[in-house]
Structure 1
Amino acid sequence: MLISYNQSYEKIAMGLLSYIEDFKSVERLREAMDNYIQSEDRTLYLWKDGETENIVGIVGVEHSDVVVLVRHIAINPSFRQEGVVYQILDKLQTRFPDLAINGTLETVPLITKWAQKNNQLDNTVCE
């Protein structure tokens, strides 16, 4: 389940973001958190696992009238290889149905794999 960030999730959010190489320093991590909190066009979402009810992922997006730019995405290592990234991106698409989901240099490989997976499913359904 995709849930919006609020102050009560600060430590969890910072912990998940710290898995991203750019945020190994506390200063850079704090700066990124502040950017998401203070900016009207940036949002952090947390991913709650349906089975465990634990928060296991985070995604930071920047949104405009035409696009949702996935700036950061991190998953708890214990939940990687379980398709959590695809689930997060599916929910983002549901939340922003009229907007394109794009990525940065760091996140575009994940977005591309997700889009290809969805395209394969669409082709399978059409056949």
Structure 2
Amino acid sequence: MLIRYKPDYQKITMGLLSYVPDLKETSRLTNEMQWYDQEENRQLFLWKSQETGDLAGVIGIEEEDEIILLRHIAINPSYRDEGMAYSMLDALNKTCSPKRIVGTLETASLITKWQRETEKP
């Protein structure tokens, strides 16, 4: 289940975002968190595992008129290979519909795979 970021979740969010290769350094990670806080069209969502209740993933988006730009997606390594990324994108799609989700250079291949998977009969 997707949960909107709140300051109470800052430490867990920073921990999850630190799995993104470009955000391993604390200063870069702190700057990115501030970047999301500066504008209303930038948002972080956390993924709460329904099986365990743990916060296991994070999505960072930038919302425009007709699109949602997926800037970051990170999942706790303990939960990888469970289809969680697709579940997170499905939930984001429902939350932000009818806007179309697109990716950055880093996230575009995941978006393409997810779109192909959701289009299967």
TM-score band by shorter chain is: over 0.9
Q: Which runs of 5+ in 2 are unaligned?
A: none
Where does residue 64 of structure 2 map in the other structure?
64
5 Å matches for 1:1-127? 1-120=1-120, 124=121
Tell me the C-alpha RMSD between the 2 structures.
Answer: 0.6
Where does structure 1 differ by over 2 angstroms across 4 or more consecutive aligned residues? none
Q: How far apart are residue 94 of structure 1 and its match?
A: 0.3
Q: Structure 1-normalised TM-score?
A: 0.94
Distance in 2, Cα, partners of 1:96 & 1:58: 16
Q: Structure 2-normalised TM-score?
A: 0.98
Residues matched between the structures, number = 121
Q: Secondary structure at the match of 2:85?
A: helix
Structure 1 residue identity aligned to 2:100: A
Distance in 1, Cα, partners of 2:33 & 2:83: 25
Q: Which runs of 5+ in 1 are unaligned?
A: none
Q: Secondary structure at the match of 1:12?
A: helix
Q: How far apart are residue 97 of structure 1 and its match?
A: 1.2
| Paired-residue identity, % | 49
* Bigger Cα Rg: 1
Q: How far apart are residue 37 of structure 1 and its match?
A: 1.4
